[in-house]
Amino acid sequence: MKPEKDKRSARPSQRIKMHIMGSAGDVSGSLFYFEYSSPQGKTTRFLLECGLHQEHEEINRQKRLPKGVEAKDINFVIISHAHIDHSGWLPALVKDGFKGAVYTHPATKDLLDFLLLDSGRLQENAADRVNRFIARRQKKAEANGKKKRRIPLSVPLYTAEDVPLCFPLFKQINYNQLYTLADGIKMRFTEAGHILGAAVVTITIGEGEDACTICFTGNVGRATPPMLRPLAAVKNADYVISESTYGNKLHKERDRLKTLAEYINNAYARAKVKDRATGCGVIVIPAFAVDRVPTVLHDVQTLSNRGLIPNMAVYLDSRMAIAGAAVYRKYPALFNDEVRQQLENGVDPFAPPRYLECTKPEQTNALYENQNEPIIIVGSSGMAAGGKILRHLEKRLVQKNSTVIFVGYQGTGALGFDLVNNKPKHVRVHGKVLPVRATIEYMSDYSGHADYEEIIAWMSKFENKPRKTFLVHGDGGALEEFKGHIEKALGWSVVVPQRRQCFEL
């Protein structure tokens, strides 16, 4: 059989170009631009992912489309899942003139309804902070008799008010069905096991002998996710674009529930020793609002029901996490049998026996008071980078009988990273220097990403070797090591692309 390349070069009438515009060499800002020129001379331009760059924010303000291409020229956008580094640049694209369809799973759309609004508010807050800083410096300069310099004010990339303009553009894509997105372009979503609604995206461009299939992993979850249905196999693709978050790491093989039970029981023993000034201790669990919070709540429920931990009051104190849990309850079919059956039988799988969602300020305020019994407070952000969880930490980090259990990825620079990795004696919260007396625990067991062996196991189910595999969404070391692992295990041809690199497929 002739290699594909020869067959294609004999048919120059069809051209597919892929420009890597994000998540190249790092884990943020996923964005891939495709241009398909059909044999009939029609050109279709689309984006696979529309992610906000959260590590290097200045990138979001650069031209993120190839030279000569404007937002209004894009025919449609495909979004694999709701995380902001895969979706959060969409309002900026719409603001710039994009009017096409946005294809995504219905659960992703439901999550984006509040995640994008929150992202808009964060953009506004960031601009406000910069502008207040500029104002302070100008005031200081004036007081010192210096001439006032005109410094341009910071404008948010987009605001919460811009976000609703995106919503009418969404078109729902269900798993395992083939959709025609444009002449000669078909797409199928399969389950990714990463967060609710997350999809592996398989796109077929062209017809018959010319057909070229591209499989993009988006983000893929563990081999056996705690609640969601697992990553589904894909049989064939000419090109694979794979995430590489854990390209050089293997997850610890240990029993997640057993570990959580051990941490909670130890924390409970410390917490029930009353301090005369501050009462009982508290167990604070900072967790990412989407997926990690419902998973932790489900685990606490399971352990309570099995009598493996004391029956403690559990409070969810995060507006975003409450909204996220509500979306999770809407989609029984996306869960494993145990959680699906609970939902179908009218049992809330995310509500431990003594559970309250804090929707009123007085409910939150009561949690800052001294407690008469040990309680669990779950909140976001997962890295303690902001939000109401900071106030709980401000109160509880100084207490010897309290415990903080971090349950997810901790990025450099975040308070969570410092507490978990550096074991500091003091930390700064809301501008105050606090002694750290509470016990800090960390569980990596809640990772939403497959490790390299799990992704290679998924790749090994392909019936044919892809012509090329592109590795994205990983740090430098992870990408290079993952390349070596795939080459060794499967003999595939692998490239680690650079940002703005263009490939003809």
Residues present in the chain in total? 505
Q: How far apart are CB 394 and Zn ion at their closest, in Å?
A: 29
Q: How far apart are CB 147 and Zn ion at their closest, in Å?
A: 49
* DSSP assignment letter at 246: B
Give dist(CA 102, CA 22) in Å, integer: 18
Site for Zn ion contains 301 (CB under 5 A) = no
> Which residue's CB is nearer to Zn ion, number 60 or number 219?
219
Identify whether the C-beta of residue 197 lies closer than 8 Å to the C-beta of residue 334.
yes
Q: Which residues, 6 or more positions from 460, have their beta carbon under 8 angstroms from its beta carbon?
A: 489, 490
Identify whether the C-beta of residue 229 lies closer than 8 Å to the C-beta of residue 335.
yes
Q: Which stretch binds Zn ion (CB under 5 A): 203-211, 212-220, 237-245, 329-337?
A: 212-220
Give dist(CA 403, CA 260) in Å, integer: 13
Q: Which x/- pattern, by CB under 5 A, does the window 214-243 give for Zn ion? A: -----x------------------------
Residues 246-265 within binding reach of Zn ion (CB under 5 A): none
Q: Which stretch binds Zn ion (CB under 5 A): 75-83, 116-124, 179-187, 453-461?
A: 75-83
Identify whether the C-beta of residue 500 lies closer than 8 Å to the C-beta of residue 21.
yes
Q: How far apart are CB 377 and Zn ion at their closest, in Å?
A: 25
Q: How far apart are CB 405 and Zn ion at their closest, in Å?
A: 22
Give the C-alpha distances (Å, rounded to integers) separating 347 from 110, 328, 334.
21, 13, 16
Q: Which stretch binds Zn ion (CB under 5 A): 30-38, 76-84, 128-136, 223-231?
A: 76-84
Q: How far apart are CB 83 and Zn ion at their closest, in Å?
A: 4
H or E, element range at 435 = strand 432-435
> Which residue's CB is nearer to Zn ion, number 268 or number 409?
409
- Alpha helices for 314-381 (secondary structure H): 319-329, 337-344, 361-368
Please identify which residue in the block is written with the tokens 């001439």.
147
Q: How far apart are CB 82 and Zn ion at their closest, in Å?
A: 8
Q: Which residues, 6 or more positions from 113, have their beta carbon under 8 angstroms from its beta carbon?
A: 167
Give the C-alpha distances (Å, rounded to integers) separating 307 from 312, 355, 390.
11, 16, 31
Q: How far apart are CB 81 and Zn ion at their closest, in Å?
A: 6
Q: How many residues bind Zn ion (CB under 5 A)?
A: 2
Site for Zn ion contains 108 (CB under 5 A) = no
Q: Which stretch binds Zn ion (CB under 5 A): 80-88, 115-123, 263-271, 387-395?
A: 80-88
> Which residue's CB is nearer to Zn ion, number 30 or number 75?
30
> Which residue's CB is nearer to Zn ion, number 246 or number 263?
246
> Which residue's CB is nearer to Zn ion, number 83 or number 395?
83
Q: How far apart are CB 491 and Zn ion at their closest, in Å?
A: 29
**Three-class DSSP category at 119:** helix
Site for Zn ion contains 83 (CB under 5 A) = yes
Please identify which residue in the block is written with the tokens 């699906």.
340
Binding residues for Zn ion, rule: CB under 5 A, are 83, 219
